[in-house]
Structure 1
Amino acid sequence: MKIFTIFNFFILMVSSISCSVITKSPAENPGISESKSSETSVSTSQDIYFKGSGNEPFWNVEISDADIKLKTITDSIVTPSVDAIRAADHNVKLYRTQVGESTLSIQIIQNNCTDKMSGKNSPYSVSVEYQKYAAAKLQKLKGCGNYVTDYRLNDIWVLETLDGNKVESKNFQNKLPSMEINSATNSFSGFSGCNTMNGKLFYEKGLLRFTDVATTKMMCDPNNQENAFLKALKSTTTYKIEVNRLWLSNPSGLMLIFKKID
């Protein structure tokens, strides 16, 4: 009888453990929940290409390919993303969008903008107008903002192709041109084929320029293709990244192809 009682107790314990494992919900498993949340957060933040904010009252706006999100202390509006309306003669973009009875208008102008509270300078001023519903009062906000440079550019790149032709180290000073891009500071530095170089990036959605390019002044071989490389780099206006390659183009066509190196 004692053996039978112990056996029953053992069966009961196993069943209890099995049930607790089977019925445990994702909400009760913080390890799994946090992992999924982290992946979603990273993916979402990487899609955002413009951020704006202001104070009095505090607000912020984020624009991505998927949606436009406006948050204030009291309101929150999320609308589908739309293409910007561009001014013909100035770098001004206007986003007008609507969801339900909520309307949202965002104007982005390229000019120096200083946050009145923090003193931080930004390259764009931002004006926002929104109505939460048709009968609501039109709200107006002003602040500053900046484009979020594509994180995938942040790497070391070595030149493969110049003006459609495969390059070799003999075309330069026994070493191929290369550059390291820092997308956080919008800057780059590297080797231009004979001299060292550095400069800045100008980035907006669908636009990439290499600006303020400076090099050392070493004497170079007359056959060195450094000048052709620098000319192509400075003429870049667009890019794409595929199969570990950075393709730089302008309206005339493909100018440069770089290979990513670790």
Structure 2
Amino acid sequence: MLLIIVTLAYSCKSISATNSNTKKNNSKSISENKSEEDNTTYFKATGNEPFWELKIGKEQIIFTSLIKGKESIAFATAKPIRAMDANVKTYKVKNEKSSAVISIQQIECQNSMSGIISPYKVSLEIKNNTDSNTQKIEGCGKYITDYRLHDIWVLEELNGFKVFITDFQKELPRIEIHAEENKFMGFGGCNSISGSLFFENDLLRFNNITSTLMACPENNKEDKFVKTLQNTTSYSIKNNRLTLSNPSGKLVVFKKVD
């Protein structure tokens, strides 16, 4: 009898442990999938009357709405057509059942219900292939800054050369990026610096850079560092390193710090 009780207790413990591990694995999987989705979707837009949402990702463009017959439509991502005289991108996409023309214009846009201001106005013309009428709707959107940028980064290389504290004053330059607010702050090597980020998919710019006005030694490389930030147009993240570049090549390398 004692043996049976021990066996049952062990079995219950094993099942409990298995269920616990399964829950942990499921939670981990959901978290990983969410991070992957967040990193894949780089532009989101919404509109009202009727409500609709648009997500543009690296592989898919997904449109969901309360419009009858257009509740959920997925398209393969296409390269946008850029206007020559304005910051306007147009996507022309289609699948077996539907087609759409999506225009994204860089102009302030206010949500008609919430009043929230977004940096882009979005216009859609969407239709089912069996319909003769096109649904025309408008809304507001914004690019989703890569969440991996949100961290503190300390300078490691500048214009192809490793940097040392002696190149600056007291400590190495660093930047702290706040991806959600598209802002950054930090230390330039002599002065405190801050500014804003402009992000569009893989395009990254450091804008409106300001600094304190402390006089710096002649051998301090702060000016060169700030200039590289101003000249940045692209980035990559690998092995806890943030590399900033432009069409001429690599500009700086930062190391992630906790």
Question: TM-score by structure 1 length?
Answer: 0.86
What is the aligned partner in structure 1 of residue 65 from structure 2?
Answer: 72
Q: CA RMSD in A?
A: 2.2
How many corresponding residue pairs?
242
Q: Secondary structure at the match of 1:117?
A: coil
Amino acid at match of 2:91: Y
**Secondary structure of 1:100's aligned partner:** coil
After TM superposition, the structure 1 stretch with the greater mean CA deviation from structure 2, 138-147 or 66-75, is 66-75
| Structure 2 partner of 1:144 | 140
Gaps of 5+ in 1: 1-5
In structure 2, which of residues 238, 241, 249 is the aligned counterpart of residue 245 of structure 1?
241
Matched, 1:170 2:163: no
Identity %: 44
Instruction: Report 1:5-44 matches (<5 A).
Output: 36-44=29-37
Unaligned runs of 5+ in 2: none
Q: What TM-score, normalized by structure 2, do the two folds share?
A: 0.87
The C-alpha deviation readout for 1:108-160, integer Å capped at 9, x for no partner, is 00011111111110000000111123325211110000000001101110111
Cα distance between partner residues in 2 of 1:246 and 1:38: 23
Letter in 2 for 1:254: K
Secondary structure (helix, strand or coil) at the match of 1:46 reads helix
**2:49 aligns to what?**
56
Spell out the pairing of 1:180-219 with structure 2 (5 A cutoff): 180-219=176-215
- Residue by residue, what CA displacement relative to the aligned partner does 1:36-89 show, whole Å, maximum 9, x if unpaired? 444423322321100000101110100000100001113211111111111122
Query: In structure 1, the residue corresponding to 2:224 is in which secondary structure?
Result: helix
d(CA) in 1 for partners of 2:200, 2:72: 25
Runs of 4+ that moved beyond 4 A:
29-35
1:45 aligns with one of 33, 38, 48: 38
Distance 2:97 2:54 in 1: 19
Deviations 1:154-213 (A, max 9, x none): 111011111111111101003110011010110101100100011100000121000110
1:51 aligned partner, one-letter code:
K
Q: Which amino acid aligns with 2:61?
A: I
Aligned amino acid, residue 173 of structure 2: P
1:226 paired with 2:222, answer yes
User: Partner residue of 1:86?
Assistant: 82
CA offsets, 1:228-248, max 9 Å, x none? Answer: 111111111111111111111
Distance 1:196 1:34, change over 3 A: closer
SS, match of residue 101 in structure 2: strand
Once residues 96 and 180 of structure 2 are traced to their aligned partners in structure 1, the CA distance between those partners, rounded to angstroms, is: 37
How far the C-alpha of 1:33 sits from its partner, in A, is: 5.4
What secondary structure, in the 3-state scheme, does the structure 2 residue paired with 1:152 have?
Answer: helix
Structure 1: how far apart are the matches of 2:27 and 2:250? 43
